[in-house]
Amino acid sequence: MKRRIVPKSQDQAIAGNAPPEPVFAVVESGSVERRANGTDSIEKLLTPDEVVMLFDVKMSWVMDHVTRIEPIIPHIRIGKMIRFKRQAVMEWIDSMMNTKATWA
């Protein structure tokens, strides 16, 4: 995972009039969520390998449930890459919970 530190406002840094106390954000691959105080928080997206490890299943099972076999795992396509939001995947697996007897 690549991490880089960038000024919050690159315009201010370029113009030379950055705030007295520079504000920096760590940027990683993932989606951005807004915190209550107005700053950005990075949520790391899961790779298919991480979902395989999370569920302890084979890669073919994950890819089947992403592309063609119901139920479809909620996912995001970024070009040819597939990524997953951890919260969406956990909610999906919770919705699959069977609480009824299967023999009845």
Contact predicate 27/4, CB 8 Å: yes
pLDDT of residue 16: 57
pLDDT of residue 100: 77
What are the residues whose beta carbons fall under 8 Å from the beta carbon of 19, sequence distance 6 or more? 12
Domain boundaries defined on the chain: 4-43, 48-95
pLDDT of residue 74: 94
Strand partners, 23: none
CA-based nearest residue to 55, from 84, 29, 34, 98: 84
CA dihedral 46, 67, 97, 49 (to 10 degrees): -30
pLDDT of residue 102: 72
Tens place of pLDDT per residue across the chain (104 aa): 555 555 555 444 455 555 554 444 444 445 455 555 555 567 889 999 999 999 999 999 999 999 888 889 999 999 999 999 999 999 999 988 877 777 76
